[in-house]
Amino acid sequence: MWKVLSLPTTAVAAALALCSPAMTHASPDDTGGHCTWQPVAPSIITVSDTQMVTASLKAGACTIFGSPNLTTVCLAIDGDSAAPKCAQSASPYPVQVYTPYRPGATYVMTARGCLTLFEAPHRLCQTYGPTNYTL
């Protein structure tokens, strides 16, 4: 038989607030609280002997009663007609995107973090970028 445990609202709110510091903020105009996301700039890494560029976005501190639940990060090469490479997560966990490395190229990073609020406006998003990085 399963036991259902009930957590007090304050415990749930405290658990949602335990995140790292961040750079971008989302805040409804009238509450004074906010949620943040921390973009991680593109860098060159090696994956299976192939040089790749990776960037990520992770949820940061949240001081309003909500749940970060949609994170998207995209990388494009400036001037390239190809669609950006994007990664998305429907969870509060970090999301990371990979694209092949092109020496000397300028990579354009965009990102968006969203959360569900338990009061109106019910959904709040913060956009980061576009920001250019030459690698």
Give the CATH number of domain 9-134; options: 1.10.3470, 3.30.1380, 1.10.260, 2.60.40: 2.60.40
pTM of the predicted structure, to 2 decimals: 0.72
Show the tokens assigned to 104: 């000397």
Q: What is the pLDDT along the chain (135 residues), one digit of tens a residue?
A: 333 322 232 332 333 333 333 344 444 455 567 788 899 999 999 999 999 999 999 888 888 888 888 899 999 999 999 999 999 998 878 899 999 999 999 999 999 999 888 777 788 899 999 999 999
Exposure on the CB side of residue 115, measured as CA atoms within 13 A: 29
d(CA 83, CA 135): 19
